[in-house]
């Protein structure tokens, strides 16, 4: 799929996730690489963007939990304070965003920043919009309000 269609798919999915009836506080955008088939007895992998909309459980502090994630290298500290309410998994193939090998900047971070900036009113209630690779603990923070 060409880049512009992927960007529109990401934007549409993010807007759907943040407008979900439970009104997510936190949105994780997760770069995931998964096997998509076999070719000559070796796995072929595709890159996907999975998006998770979450609400913070009453009485819990996301920021304190995230500090524990970094300190202990364990994402479970955050998942225990969140209620996952809406998700989009393995629907958005993002490999076309990475077709330009010359770029030193991560095109997905640039895309997420542009979407958030171009839809400020829609993203107003979002306290956290984080992006990370599925195998990494550290997140790139697109939106980071106290929570």
Q: What single string gives the DSSP state of each residue in the chain? A: --HHHHHHHHHHHHHHHHTSTT--SEEEEEEEEEEEEEETTEEEEEEEEEEEEEEEPTT--HHHHHHHHHHHT-THHHHTTEEEEEEEEEEEE-GGGG--TT--S-HHHHHHHHHHHHTTTTTTT-SEEEEEETT-S--EEEEE---
Q: 24-83, pLDDT tens digit by residue? A: 999 999 999 877 666 666 777 788 999 999 999 999 999 999 999 999 999 899 999 999
Q: What is the pTM of this model?
A: 0.89
């Amino acid at each position: 799929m060409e880049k512009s269609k992927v960007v529109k798919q990401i934007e549409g999915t993010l807007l759907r996730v943040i407008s979900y009836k439970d009104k997510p506080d936190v949105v994780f955008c997760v770069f995931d690489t998964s096997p998509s088939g076999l070719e000559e007895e070796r796995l072929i992998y595709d890159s996907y963007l999975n998006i998770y909309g979450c609400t913070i459980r009453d009485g819990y502090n996301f920021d304190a939990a995230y500090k524990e994630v970094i300190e202990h290298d364990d994402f479970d500290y955050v998942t225990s304070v969140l209620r996952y309410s809406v998700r989009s998994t393995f629907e958005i193939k993002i490999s076309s965003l990475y077709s330009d090998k010359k770029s030193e900047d991560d095109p997905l971070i640039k895309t997420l920043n542009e979407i958030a900036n171009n839809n400020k009113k829609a993203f107003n209630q979002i306290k956290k919009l984080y992006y990370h690779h599925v195998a990494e603990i550290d997140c790139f923070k697109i939106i980071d309000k106290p929570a």
